[in-house]
Structure 1
Amino acid sequence: MQDYIAQDEISKEILNSAKLLQAVNVHALIIGSPGVGKKSLASYILPSSKIYNAKSLQQDIHDEIINIQDDAIIIDKIDEITNIDLLLNWINTNSIRIIAISHNDMLNQKLKDIFSINLEVPDLYKRDLDTKALIHKFSIEASQTLDMQMISSSKLITNTTNNTHSLRKSIYFSYLFETIGEEEILMFLEKYLGENLGEENAYKNLLYLFEVPLIKASTKKYKSQVQVAKHLGLNRITLRKKLETHKELL
């Protein structure tokens, strides 16, 4: 059984619904962005069930090479099913219970109608307590995997733009960052730049790789634009131009 982190109130409500679904034999749909914990929640409901990719399952049903009866399964990316009647007929004929996963609820109405319960899992930026718990979990995981002492939370880089996918990656990067110095940073940057050099205007097009993190770090440390400009050795007009240029990345 996978762990589903439930520290925020909304997550506790979802978990209560999941516990109900463990006891009742109905179809359910779990909706949410990538990385919010849909598979973990589905596996919490059906801990012994296999997870099937929707497209692959549809092909196996069509080719008549799947033999399941009177069982419960998890279907990932059910929004990618194209032959709705084929799937529904297979489910009904073989008495299959499904817990389905989708990035959205834009499903064919025939398919939507089979679900008795819909659970929508919010993004991590709406779940502060869950995020803190996940940071701690991934920090322990990274420490054990990399055989390192746990580092303080103040040194952790946390990126939740892609929910747990980006959060786990950023925590691991935080640990790896502790082991590298200026020489390694320059080496990685040189490799990246070398692979992304264009035919023209390379300096202008790649300068953001230096400017964006420098401005973000300075803004975080010094807060006001006056102090940022002072410590970067820029006049405020130049700083404002750079802030405008890079506003989508800052």
Structure 2
Amino acid sequence: MPALSPQEFISRDYVSDLSAADLLRAYRLMVLSRKLDERCWILHRQGKIAFHISGIGQEACQLAAGLALKPGKDYYFPHYRDMVTVLALGMRPVDILMGTYGKAGDPGSGGRQMPNHYNFQPANIVSVSSPVTTQVPQCAGVAFAIKLRGEDRVAMCALGEGATSQGDWHEGLNWAGIHKLPFICMVENNNYAISVPMGMQMPVANVADRGYAYGMPGVAYDGNDFFECYNVTCEAVERARRGDGPT
């Protein structure tokens, strides 16, 4: 397919359906996530929990994903930094803390998973797997099932830019592109894969540039601009629902 520029794919005049009440809820969720994230850092430093993987600074793009999807209908495959996404989709702070402490009240695994390995069946949040990028082919597989069944659903996964160096990334995107699946892959680029800078991870300027090779548009956008994040994510979700394929 011919390469699409972000301007050809995303209309910057795209009007979202956010009301004043929606914006207040969005702000509350971002603040709640930030405070809960900070508290988990403190609990770790106090030796009260095993570990914590922070999503501080990535809340805007994560929240946009949570608000663009339909909880309990669409499927979300998070990675371990996606605290505000799972809050937006219906998890409660107490649910997250139950998992963090490994308590039986953890709704996802009964305390058997590790911290930040979110899983919430009522909202179709599929459990995080510890090996990075395994969620991509899993998400593509669910999207394939959705298409075969003719269901009005989408499947979305999230990961960091370092995970795009894994083979599972290629396999998942290749499958989604070949079969034109209702699949969205959100890469949260914080410029470092633990300690490896982006320049040592890939030879392209933006992770989104890799999408074209798999027959899908890729869009690079400001992950700290909530409105841009929401508009881009909503349009990608709408494309998937229409049967126009993955993003």
Greater relative contact order (Cα < 8 A, sep 6+): 2
Taking structure 2 as the reference length, the TM-score comes to: 0.27
Structure with the larger helix share: 1
Rg larger in structure = 1
